Structure formats: C-alpha cells, structure tokens
Amino acid sequence: MYKIAVIPGDGIGKEVMEATLHVLEAVDVEFDYTFADAGDEYMEKTGVALPQETVEIVKASQACLFGAAGESAADVIVKLRQELELYANIRPAKSYPGTKCLFDNVDFVIVRENTEGLYIGLEEESEEGATALRVTTRKAAERICKYAFEYAKKTGRKKVTAVHKANVLKKTDGLFRETFYQVAKDYPDMELDDRYVDATAMFFITRPEMFDVIVTTNLFGDILSDEAAGLAGGLGLAPSANVGEKIGLFEPVHGSAPDHAGKGTANPSAMILSAVLMLDYLEENDAARKLENALVEVLAEGKAVTGDLGGNASTMEMAVEVRKKLEE
C-alpha cells in the first residue's frame, strides 16, 4: 500500500481531484491517502498559504497528488519544490483521439530544470530600472541532464534534445550545453542533439515529430511546455510531475481556474493523466497503462466528455465513464 499525500487546493483543483480519486478506486493498486491543506482558501482562514504540517505530510508520503492553487501558487508550489528538492519538472505532450490537438503525431516529453535560472527570484530595483540574476550551476545542469537521459532510457525513448540559447547567453547556457554533451557520453546508444529555444518554438508547430525527450532550463521549459500543451489539445489535457530524489508531486497544469470553479464543468483529464505519471513513478506501469487507455477510450468515443472536448458531461460524469472503462 502506497502512502499518498492529497492536496486538493483551490477552485477546480478540488473537483478534478475528487474525480481522479474516484477513478483510482478502480485501479488494482492500494493507496493510503492523507489529505492536507494549501492554497488561497486556507490562506484566507489562517494567513498562511502552505502550512508546515502539509509539508511534513508530503515528506512522510511516497508521492503527492496536488490539485491547484490560485493566487498563492508561487507560495505553495515553489516552496514545495524547494522544501522537497523537486528538481525535475516532467511535462508530457501527447496527441489523444477526440481532442483538439493540432497534430495527431505529437508525443514528446519536456524535462525542465526546476531550481535555478531566472526563477530563483533574485531581483533588485534601481533608479534606472530593475535587474534579475540568472543562475546556472554545473551540479544542477548535470543532474537534470542525467535525469533526462535516464528517463528516456527507462521509458524506451530514443532521442534527447537539449534546448538553450547559448549563442546569446554564452556563459549560463554555454555551461548547460557543455554539461549536456558531457553527460551524454555515458549514454552512447542514445540519439542526441541541441537546438536554440526560438528555433524549437518554431519546430513545435512545424515538425513536432522530430522531438522525443527535451531537456532545458527553468524559464525556457515553462514557456515551451505551455506551447506543447497547446499542440496537444490545451491545458485540460496537460499533466505534470515534479520529481526529486525522495518523492514526486503530480499536478495538472491548468491551475485553479476560478471562473469555472463550482460549476462541475472542469475537464478531469489532466489530473487523471497526472495520476498516470504517479503510477509510473511508483513503477506500477501496468496500472498506469490501463488507466491511460481507459481515458483514451472515453476521449475517442466523445460521448461522456466535458464541454471543452465537445461534449456536455460534467467532471464527475466523465470520471464515472473512465472508471467504467477501467473496470471493464
């Protein structure tokens, strides 16, 4: 039995979490859930977005399912990444049938460095304006590149592409590219290349089939992964994982979507696919494939899907249909 921390959070996070837990009841894997608080609503009550109690609950678990946080997202998810040393952000982009994907052959994974770059928040103002510090260390670059190659090897993928802007950011991205090729020496059977981030953005919408596993820095990974979600049908179908040495945290990319909260119309696919990533992380690969296939069947049929997918089913109605396919 796996100990799983569950943080529903804010807005539609609660709704897609309820739907996903309903589906997971039909998976042939046992879970022991511990529910924890975080997000805007909790901060309104207590003045704290992420209580230490929640951090400790997650630390004591083998994995964490996270719904969404609203305006306090930076105080919640960034702090959790730091506290738990979740250095790798995994963002798959995959074309599924019955969705508004721009191409039917998208199937790649972005591995984003989660701890450095511009997102460390070292900014300062002056009379002339403001300055931000971008940090790249050899240790973090080596760690994320190794993770990308190991991920590709473990999942049967054949190619790893480093994305950077070393022609302009000669020191920081120069170090990242150099480290990538040093790490690659340990994986002689893996195909590899590197591309500039601007060219990569173009190739996403002209030749997405050329990518398999992409490894990149924090800001570039953030931007490219949202573009990739657009290729594959939108944020409602975009899962993610934040992984460290000891634990993984799994969440949909779409956020709390307050305009849709409480209406029962949220697409649960991204949260369900995040649970698929969790099952793979726990090495319950058969269960992961069965869950993903059950969702694919529902998407392909298009009968019990939410409005953004062209149907009129509620969040829970879609989840019930996915569970029915899983049980069959």
**Considering 14, 94, 146, 165, which one is annotated as catalytic?**
165
- Distances from the Cα of 113 to the Cα of 150, 216, 218, 220, angstroms: 15, 6, 5, 9
Q: Which of 173, 212, 222, 280 is the catalytic position? A: 222
DSSP state of 299: H
Answer yes or no: 189 catalytic. Answer: no
Token readout for 250 is 């799994």
Per the annotation, the verdict on 193 as an active-site residue is: no
Dist. CA 318–CA 266, nearest whole Å: 10
Could you tell me where the DSSP H helices lie in the chain?
Answer: 12-24, 40-46, 52-59, 73, 79-84, 138-154, 172-184, 197-204, 218-231, 269-281, 285-301, 315-327
**CB of 256 closer than 8 Å to CB of 12:** yes
Is residue 40 part of the annotated active site? The answer reads no
Q: Is 122 exposed, middle or buried (0-12, 13-18, 19+ CB in 10 A)?
A: exposed
Cα 139 to Cα 97, 133, 144, 146: the distances in Å are 40, 18, 9, 11
Catalytic residue among 42, 87, 96, 119: 119
The active-site residue out of 186, 193, 226, 286 is 226
Which is the catalytic residue, given 198, 246, 263, 286?
A: 198
Q: Are 292 and 276 in contact (CB under 8 A)?
A: yes
Active-site positions read 119, 165, 198, 222, 226
